[in-house]
Amino acid sequence: MIDSLDIAEVARRTGISARALRFYEARGLLKPLRTASGRRHYGPGELATLHQILALKRAGLTLAQVQRLLHSRSVDLAGLIDAQLAVLEQQSAAIARSRALLLETKSRVERSEPLDVATFCSLIEQGERQMDKKAQWDTLASRYLTEAERADFATTMADVPAGFDQAGYAAQWKELGGRIKAALPLDPGSAAAQAFVVEWKALLAPFNAVATPAMQAGVQRMYADMGNWQGEADPGFDAEVFQFIQAACRA
């Protein structure tokens, strides 16, 4: 075919594998031309669409979102942009944490504090574990919160005071969750159960102070289904403890 490229040449020029091109076709994103023998060829229109797909993917959109945009269906473009900005904010925060770790380590070296390779590796591993935990929560949130709610979260959490002790806050949840777990089974209406409710709500206060109703609803949806994701992330308590607290609140 004149003015068209076969799939092998498109793959060579773009760096996109032939398998990925066939996948885009199967998803209805691309409709290559066909020769009499059935071979795929890509003309100017198909190549332009492919470039749009790649550009949108680089911007962080999912294939489903790309498909809606290409087919001109109703899409909350502003919401998509906000969601992608939130992703960039998360990445920037991760880079900032890594930079802070390196600067702190460098400062210790410049002060001639003892710092061997093993200690340095340990510091790096601690930082990586924190980033891994964040990635776990981001993945989990994407299953239960809408893009707008996740963007809301990112914007709100960016305003958390720099001095807030996140590690200490997580430790408080783990300690309370452990005490509740050890006390079960327990009558939700008992004085002991209601005392746990008071502690639980006190720990929730920093979140409730900044969370929008949509954020609170999204988190409630996620924890209501905790039995299906327990083990993927650790909030400091398990599904049994959360179900008990819900019953105690109702009581």
Please check whether residue 237 is in contact with residue 182, taking contact to mean a CB–CB distance below 8 angstroms.
Answer: no
pLDDT digits (tens, 9 = 90+) for 101-127: 778 778 877 887 776 666 666 666 665
147 C-beta neighbours (distance < 10 Å), count? 19
Task: Please report which confidence band the pLDDT of residue 197 belongs to, taking 50, 70 and 90 as the band edges.
Answer: very high
CA neighbours within 13 Å on the CB side: how many for 67?
A: 12
Q: Which of the 8 DSSP states describes residue 2?
A: T
| Average pLDDT score over residue span 6-25 | 86
pLDDT of residue 207: 74
Strands 33-34, 5-6: pairing kind: unpaired
How confident is the model at residue 52, as a pLDDT? 86
Q: What is the model's pLDDT at position 158?
A: 55
pLDDT of residue 157: 59
Report whether pLDDT(42) > 60: yes
User: Residue 192 — very low, low, confident or very high, per pLDDT cuts 50/70/90?
Assistant: very high
Q: How do residues 135-168 score in pLDDT, each as one tens digit?
A: 666 777 777 777 767 766 666 655 555 456 666 7
Per-residue pLDDT reduced to its tens digit, 52-95: 888 887 776 777 778 878 876 665 667 767 767 776 777 777 77
What per-residue confidence (pLDDT) applies to 194? 92
Rounded Cα–Cα distance for residues 21 and 120 (Å):
44
User: In the beta sheet, which residues pair with residue 230?
Assistant: 233
Confidence category of residue 249, pLDDT binned at 50, 70, 90: very high
Q: Is the pLDDT of residue 251 over 60?
A: yes
CA distance linking residue 144 with residue 3, whole number of Å? 46
pLDDT at 230: 75
H-only helix segments in the chain: 7-14, 18-26, 44-58, 63-70, 77-110, 117-144, 147-157, 166-183, 191-210, 213-224, 239-250
